[in-house]
Structure formats: C-alpha cells, structure tokens
Amino acid sequence: MRVANLLPDIQYQMQQSQQALATATEQVSTGLRVNQLSDDPAASANMVRSLAYSANVDQYTSNVSSVIPQMQTADSAISSIVTSLNTAVTLGTEGANGTNSTQDKQEIATQVQSILSNVIAQANTSFQGVYVFGGSDSTTPPFVPASTTYTSSQGSTASPLATTTALTAGSVTTISDATTGKTMTYTAVAGDTVATLQAAIASKVSDGTLSVGTSATINANGQLQVGTNSATAGIVVSSNDAVLGTMNAAPGTEVANAYAYVGNSSINTVQIGDSMNAATNVPGNQLFTSGSNVIGSLSNLITTLQSGTTTQIGAATEAVTSALNYLDQQRVPLDNTMTQLNSQESYLGQEKVTLTTQQTALVGINMADAATNLSQAQLNNSAVLAAAAKIMPQTLLDYLK
Amino acid sequence: MGSLSSSLSIAVQSLNAASGSLQAANNNIANVNTPGYTRKVPILEEMAPVNEGNFSAGRGVELEGYQSVRDELLQNQIQQETQAQSGANAQLASLQQIQPTFTTSTQDIGTQMSALFSSISSLSTNPSSATSRQAVLTAGQNLVTAFNTASNTLTAQQAGLNTQVSQDVSQINQLTQQIAALNPQIAELKATGQDGGTLQDQQDQLVLSLSKLTSVAVTQGTDGETLTTENGTPLVVGSKSFSLQTTTGSDGMTHVLDQSGTDITSSLTGTSSLTGGDLGGTIQTRDTTIPGLLSQLDTLANKFGNAFNTVQALGYDQNGNKGGEFFTLPATPAPAVPPAADPYPGAAANIKMAITDPTQIAASSDGTAGDNLNLARFSALSAASIVSGQTPSDAYASLVYQVGSLTSNANAESTATTSSLAQLNNQLSSVSGVSIDEESANLITFQQAYEAAARVVSTIQELFTVTMSMGTAAAE
C-alpha cells in the first residue's frame, strides 16, 4: 500500500494513548472503576439498589438505638413497681396479723398508700416527653385519679339536656373504670341520642366492663351526669362531643386511692429489619389494670386495712401477690423485644459491612490495579510520543543535496 | 528521415513536458496539507509518429494534461462513515450532559427517595416529635426538588437541541447552494473529457461537510451530482439547490420542512438510529431518546406521589383530622388513542409538596396522637410494586441503566466510527494523498529530464551553427 503521509496515523495513536492515560488517571484519583454511568450501566443500576438497601440498614440501626433507651426506661419502671409490690405484700401480711390494733392497721394503710402513689408515678413514666405506658396515646399521663361523678359542661337549668338530645355523629365518649380496670369507648352514629348512650352504658355494666351501679342521667341542672353511685368506685369520663361539651369531675367526688387508665391498647411498632418489626411498648392496662389488676388490688388493700376484717386483709394481700405474678408474665414481651433489639443491632452491623463490600466490588477498583494501569498507560504514552518524534520530521528533502 | 528542426521541436516538446510535470509536482507539494486535495499526475503521451514509407520517426512526448487520482467509491464510504460518526457524536454530547443528573450523589432521586423513607422510619420511633416531623417534610421537599431538576435538565436539553436543529439546517442550505453552483462548471469540464480537477475536489469537500450534518445520497449525472436525503427529498439537482426550512411545531419543537412545506423531521433520523449526521442524531435525541427518559421519569413521579397520597388519606394527622394530600401532582390527561408516549406529562416537572405544616403528616391510623401505625404503611411503599410492577428503587435503577447504556452505546459507536474513518482516510490518502518523498523524487526525475532536453537543445543549436558555417571560411 502506498503511504502518503504518516501524520494522521500518528495523531490517531496519540489520541488513543492520551485517552487511556486520562482514564487510568481518573481511576487512580477517584478509586472508582465506574466514574460515570456509561462506564458500566449494569453496575450503576445495581449500585442504586445496593445504596437503597444500605440506607435502610442505616435507618434500622438508628431505630434500634432510638428505641432501646425508651424500653429500658419502661423496664426499669416495671422493676421499681415489682419492688414496691413486694413491699406491699410484706405490709399486707403484717396487717393481716390478728394482733394489730386499728391504729396499727391505719399506719400500715398509710404506708401502702405511699407505695400506691409511687406505683402510679412509675406507671406515668415518660421518656423524652412520651408516656411509655399509655399504649399509642402517649401524649398525656395514662393513669389519672378517678371520681365518682362526672358532669357535662353543656346543659343548664335554662337549656337542659334531655334523653332525646341528639349526639354528634362520630364523636367519642370514654368511661374508664378504676375498679374493673376496663374502659368503655362509645362512638356515636347518626341518630344516636343521650338515651342511646344510657343504654350502651347499661350494657357495659352487664358485661362487667363498668362497675355495677354506673349510669348516666340528666341531673337537676340539666347536665348529663355519669356516676358510679358508690362512694368507693371511681371513674374517669371524657368526651369530644360538642353537644356535651367537656366532661369534668364533680368537685368533692374524687375517690381516694382510685386511679383509672385513660390510654388505649394499641401497640406501636418500629421497623428494625426488612421484614422485622419490634413492638415498642406494652400498654399500661395490659400491665397494671388487667388480670389481677396491680393498681386495683393495691387500692383494695388500703381500703381493707383502713376498715376491713383480718380475713379481708388477708384476701386483699393474696390479690396483690397474684397481681405481682401476673405483672411478671406481662413484662416478658418487653424483655423479649429488648433481646431481639440487641441481637438485631449486631446483625445490622454485619449487613452494613457486606453491603459496603458489595458496593466496592461493583464500582470500585483495587488501588494496586489502578496504579499499575496508570504506569502502564504512562509507559505506552511515552513510547508513542517518542516514536512520533523520531518519525515525523524525516522526509527525503532532508537527505537531498 | 529526421531533420535538425524536427529534433529541435521534439526537444522543445520535452522541455514543455518536463516543465509541465515539474509544475504538477510543485502544485502537489504546495497542497500537501490542503484538506480534500487529490494529487495530480501529468499525463505524458508519446506523440503519433510520422510514417515515411518504411521509416517511422517518433515525434516526442506530449503533455496531455493532468489527471487527478481519485477513488470515488472510497469517497462515498467516507461520507457514509462521517454521517454515522456525526450522528453518534451528537447523541453522545447530549447524553453526557444528561448523565450527571442520574448519577448517584447526595441529590439524585434515588438518594432522596431513600432519605424520605428513612425520615419516616425515624418518625415512627417517636410520632409526636416535632423535629422528626419537620425532617419528613424536608426530605419530601428535597425529593420534589430532585424530580423537578431532573425533568428540567431533560427539557432544557431539548431546547438546546432545537437551536442546534436550526443551525444545522441553515448550514445545510449554505452548503447545498455552494454545491449546486459548482455542478455546471464541473459538467463543462467533464464534457470536454477532462476530469473535474480542483473544482471536483472542492465539491467533494462540500459534500463531506454536508455529510457531517445529514445523511445524503449522491448520484452522478450528466449535469453534475444529484443530492437527496436518504428518503428522497431533493437537495441539489443540477445547478439548482433546494432549501430546507424550519418552523416551530405544535409540540414546541423545531420541525424541518422541505421546500414545498412537507414536514420531513422524522425521516431525517436515518435508517438506523445512529446514522443521519448531526441533524439526524440531534433529532433522534430530541424526539425519541429524551421523551423516552421523560416518560419513565414522569411515571415514577406520578406513581410515587399518588401512592403517598393514598396512604396519607388513610391516616390521621396530629390534629386528629383525616390526612389530605402529601404531594400535589398535575392532573393526568385522559388516555389518548394511540397511547401517548408520556401518559403523565409534567408529573416530574410539577410535583410539589402539598403540606407545609409538620402536624399534617398522617402518622396515626386511628386519630390517637402518638399512634404510628399509618407510618408503617408509608414505609411499606418502598418494597411495594407501585411503579408499573417495580418498586420505586427498582424503577429508578432501570432509568439509571437506560441512561447509562444509551450513553455507553453512543460512545461505542463514536469510537468505532472514528477508528473506521481513520482506516478509510488512510486508504484514501494512499490513493490520492501527496507524499512529499515521492514528489521530491519526481522533482529530481523531471529536473533531469529538463536538463537532458536543454542539453539536446544546446547540442542542436551548435549543430545549426556548424551547418550554417559549412562552406564558409570559418568552417576550415
């Protein structure tokens, strides 16, 4: 083949070796084999997925760290309550001793009262503003003092409420009972009246949710009045129905040592793994007012110490012991979740390492390889340039005289 | 029988031929770096001999003319390859500008989607926390910005490409005019049996420049070269050139019309997607590649936004109210027949946050403040097949793969055509290129021929002098 001019070829070779040099330099300075999407589209796409997994793992780890202290707070509150209950049992046993005088029993009752206050304070524990034992209703204290009677803010002698007064559809009225430890939640539907509410309350009394004797009436002032008709049984009533206004405890009707649960039974979950959710709370009613009813049994013990027989005191003390055993069972899910969180924490740490390694494999380049490539490219480039320098200037004219 | 005067005329012919050949060599050397120059070789023919009976006497050499050494087939191949290279480069340039938008960074869509899901998961550990709620809104806003930016990058590219189309068309028109002007001149030369020479070189260069811009089909005729686009729209016929026009279409894009006003835009992209020159590549990118990417982007934005809105509506915010919208999306137009390329136009460009007050995030599933069960539904979206059967992150990964492989393909084509062109140019230069070494050798050859002929002339001159002084006193 006739060769007219070497220059275009030389230029092309130089361009190629410059390109290789540029690529090698970029790889060394970034440590990445894939510096733009076009370098390896499949690896880039996989990288997107891998980074999404990494972000999830980071979040799960963060969730675990956030949740553990909250659960530890709950756990230590329960431990404190268990200690208090043990003391109460001791006191109760002492009180059931037939040799005690009334004054002795009063003193013991006072001590049990302060234990109960302590237990309530612990049950109302909060962690960074979140009440840990309120179920998902964590913005207000879950255990509040109960009263015998609540009256509505709406209604007066001039414009009284009546059994025929219609209630707002969708409004919710709750009655929490300190003695049974249970809550009635009533949601009004269109067409409901005060009479419907009365009937609902009656049915809840029959099924044991509310204490016997609890009822709703229209009082002399034209207000809706919900009461237990018993000086020793307390309730807490609330409503968001504008027709009723707010429900307030009637002054002077507070029942000593009676507390009702105004939270709910919902459990919040937090995701700590791709298909793993941790329950982050145990509702207060599940722990302290259901089954043998920690709070109720303490209240009862105080009452029997103040005015009951030795047999009754003995029975009340038994009830506290049962409540304690029940609590021990109910705290198990909490402990299990703590264990789960701890082991998940170390698993997530491993996952993170695996993902990071995977990402490096996808788009990274081994530094040794990159450095070798660079020196090879430099060598090639120098060779091309040297060859070009040798060849380019020579023509026949240099040699003709 | 020869005579001195016929010898003299042969010698003069030789001088003529030698000096003419020297001139050719000189011209070649002068044009060694001229682009598109084909070397000219002198055509030397022996003059017809004189016959006198049995005696045949040569009459010397004649310089017939100069012949350009061309290879038209190679020229044609180079034009085709140039088209392909320009088309690939046009695509590559655009895609390289689009690529960074979809490359993983702190602001790309994939990262922001993850950040949004993380902020929601973080909120689930304390649904009443004002800081965590604000963080969710911030993450949502960042994602919205990412969508808006990506969409705007693509549409801005299209706007830039519109300008490119106009520029290419006006350049094409200039070139076709120039090519048409040369046709009659070259036809005249060819009619006398000569080759087109310098004018043909010029015309070939113009056609090569035109090939960079658009795909041309070249046919030779008696009135010169006829050029048409690949699907037959005439550009140059004889001495007439046909201008292309541009106009803004109803889609807001610059359309190309032929001289009679017919829209030929979609036919300019060439038979395969990577021929068609710069104009073809530009139109391909603007009208097919970018809309394809926009469609995927808009679908992702629309499905993601709507999924979030659905979950938001299922829950209750911190004020106990049912959730409204999380994102605002433009209305989806009614499905067109045939189906529109982008079923959710403007989704990514116009997606916005619908809530600005952190208390409006519907975290609760039943209205209780502190309940977080609706947040779990938001989180579940990251693993749900909400975008045409893919999860959001998979859909985005597909888009990333698309951009990467389009760019990679254009790059590969560009590299391959460059290498191919280098080869073809080598071959062409082997035929038509000027080799300084060769021309230098030729100079020596013709110089010697000239010197030899000059010597013959002076020898004959002496002989004339001797002849004239025959029979005079000086001859003794």
3-class DSSP state for residue B64?
A: strand
Higher pLDDT, A359 or B370: A359
Nearest one of B162, B222, B132, B157 to B186, comparing CA atoms: B222
Contact A44 B104 (CB under 8 A): yes
Going by the DSSP 8-state scheme, the letter that residue B316 receives in this structure is B
pLDDT band at A391 (very low <50, low <70, confident <90, very high): confident
0.90 exceeded by pTM: no
Residue B431 confidence (pLDDT) above 50 = yes
Q: Which residues of A touch B102 (CB under 8 A)?
A: 37
Q: Judge whether residue B77 has pLDDT over 60.
A: yes
Q: What's the CA angle centered on A183, arms A178 and A189, to 5 degrees?
A: 145
Return the number of CB contacts < 8 Å for A and B: 177
Return all residues near B404 (Cβ < 8 A) that are at least 6 apart.
A36, A37, A38, A40, A41, A42, A44, A45, B99, B102
Range B209-233 average pLDDT: 86
**So what's the pLDDT on residue A65?**
92
Residue B273 has pLDDT above 50, yes or no: no
List the single residue in B99, B370, B433 with the smallest CB-CB distance to A4: B433
Neighbours of A346 (CB within 10 A): 9
> How far is Cα B350 from Cα B361, in angstroms, rounded to an integer?
21
Indicate the pLDDT class of residue B473, thresholds 50, 70 and 90.
low
Give the minimum alpha-carbon distance from B138 to chain A in angstroms, rounded to a whole number.
17
pLDDT of residue B7: 86
Q: Does A38 touch chain B (CB under 8 A)?
A: yes
Q: Which two tokens stand for residue B373?
A: 């069960």
Weakest-pLDDT range from A304-318, B50-64, B88-102, B284-298: B50-64
pLDDT bucket at B271, cuts 50 / 70 / 90: low
Q: Which residues of A touch B430 (CB under 8 A)?
A: 1-4
User: Which of the residue ranges A37-41, A227-231, B354-358, B387-391 would you say has the lowest mean pLDDT?
Assistant: A227-231
Task: Report the half-sphere exposure of B271 (CA within 13 A, side-chain side).
Answer: 7
Q: Find chain A residues with C-beta within 8 A of B429's C-beta.
A: 4-5, 8
Residues B46-53, mean pLDDT to the nearest whole number: 85
Query: Considering only residues 2 to 31 of chain A, which have any Cβ-Cβ distance to chain B shorter than 8 Å?
Result: 2-5, 8-9, 12
In this structure, of A385-389, B104-108, B111-115, B469-473, the range with the lowest mean pLDDT score is B469-473
As a whole number, the mean pLDDT across chain B is 91
Per-residue pLDDT, averaged over A361-374, amounts to 93
Structure token digits, residue B31: 């044009």
Greatest extent of chain B over all pairs of C-alpha atoms, in Å: 146
Interface of A with B in 66-125 (CB under 8 A): 66-67, 70
Q: Stretch A348-374: mean pLDDT, rounded?
A: 94
pLDDT in tens, B374-429: 999 999 999 999 999 999 999 999 999 999 999 999 999 999 999 999 999 999 99
Percentage of residues in chain B with pLDDT exceeding 70?
97
Span A292-327, pLDDT tens digits: 789 889 998 998 998 888 888 999 999 999 999 999
Query: According to the model, what pLDDT value does residue B233 have?
Result: 87
pLDDT at A47: 94
**Residue B448 binned pLDDT confidence (cut-offs 50, 70, 90):** very high
- The alpha-carbon radius of gyration of chain A (Å, integer) is 38
| Residue B346: pLDDT over 90 | yes
CB contact under 8 A, B372 and A48: no
Q: What is the pLDDT of residue A99?
A: 84
Across the interface, which of B127, B366, B408 has its CB nearest the CB of A41?
B408
Interchain CB distance below 8 Å, A59 and B400: no
* Two structure tokens written together for B145: 């910005």
Q: State percent of chain B over pLDDT 90.
A: 68
User: How confident is the model at residue B148, as a pLDDT?
Assistant: 97
Side-chain half-sphere of A287: how many Cα atoms within 13 Å?
30
Q: A355: which chain B residues are within 8 Å (Cβ-Cβ)? A: none
Chain-centroid distance of CA A77 in Å reads 16
Give the span between the Cα atoms of B91 and B96, in whole angstroms.
9
Nearest residue on chain B to A58, alpha-carbon basis: B118
3-class DSSP state of B146 = helix
Q: Which residues of A touch B114 (CB under 8 A)?
A: 51-52, 55-56
| A242 has pLDDT over 50 | yes
- Mean pLDDT comparison of A158-162, A222-226, B142-146, highest-scoring range: B142-146
Instruction: Tally the residues of chain A.
Output: 401
Q: How many Cβ atoms from other residues are within 10 Å of residue B423's Cβ?
A: 14
pLDDT exceeds 90 at position B64? no
Q: Two tokens at A354? A: 């695996």
The closest alpha carbon to B197, from B44, B79, B65, belongs to B65
Mean pLDDT of B223-228: 83
- CA gap B227, B220 in Å, rounded: 9
C-beta of residue A208 within 8 angstroms of C-beta of residue A151: no
DSSP string, B223-292: TEEEEEETTS-EEEETTEE---EEEE-TTSSEEEE-TTS-B-GGGGG-SSTT-SHHHHHHHHIIIIIHHH
- Whether residue B166 has pLDDT greater than 90: yes
pLDDT tens profile B110-122: 999 999 999 999 9
DSSP assignments along B20-56, one per residue = HHHHHHHHHHHTTT-TT---EEEEEEEPPPEEETTEE
What domains lie within chain A, and their CATH numbers? 40-138+267-364 (1.20.1330.10), 143-262 (no CATH)
Segment A286-290 shows an average pLDDT of 87
Q: What is the mean pLDDT of residues A141-153?
A: 92
Determine whether the interchain pair B103/A266 forms a contact, defined as Cβ–Cβ distance below 8 Å. no
Q: Quick check: B363 and B317 in contact, CB under 8 A?
A: yes
Q: Is the ipTM of this complex over 0.90?
A: no
Task: Please list every residue in chain A whose beta carbon sits closer than 8 Å to the beta carbon of residue B400.
Answer: 37, 41, 44-45, 48
Per the CB < 8 Å rule, is A137 touching B371?
A: yes
Average pLDDT estimate for A260-272: 90
pLDDT of residue B272: 57
Summarize pLDDT for A185-214 with one digit per residue, the tens.
999 999 999 999 999 999 999 998 898 999
B28, B113, B114, B128: which to substitute to probe chain A, counting the most A Cβ within 10 Å? B114
Instruction: Please tell me the number of Cα atoms within 13 Å of B15 on its side-chain side.
Output: 12
Task: Report pLDDT for A125.
Answer: 94
> Between residues B267 and A376, which one has the greater pLDDT?
A376
pLDDT digits (tens, 9 = 90+) for B122-160: 999 989 899 999 999 999 999 999 999 999 999 999 999
Task: For B389-440, give the DSSP string.
Answer: TB-HHHHHHHHHHHHHHHHHHHHHHHHHHHHHHHHHHHHHHHHH---HHHHH
**Residue B304 is which amino acid?**
F
B440, A400: Cβ pair inside 8 Å? yes
- Residue B236 pairs in a beta bridge with B227, B241
Q: Is A130 on the interface with B (CB under 8 A)?
A: yes
Mutation for testing the A interface, residue in B91, B104, B125, B418 having most A CBs under 10 Å: B125
Query: Which of B111, B370, B434 minimises the CB distance to A136?
Result: B370
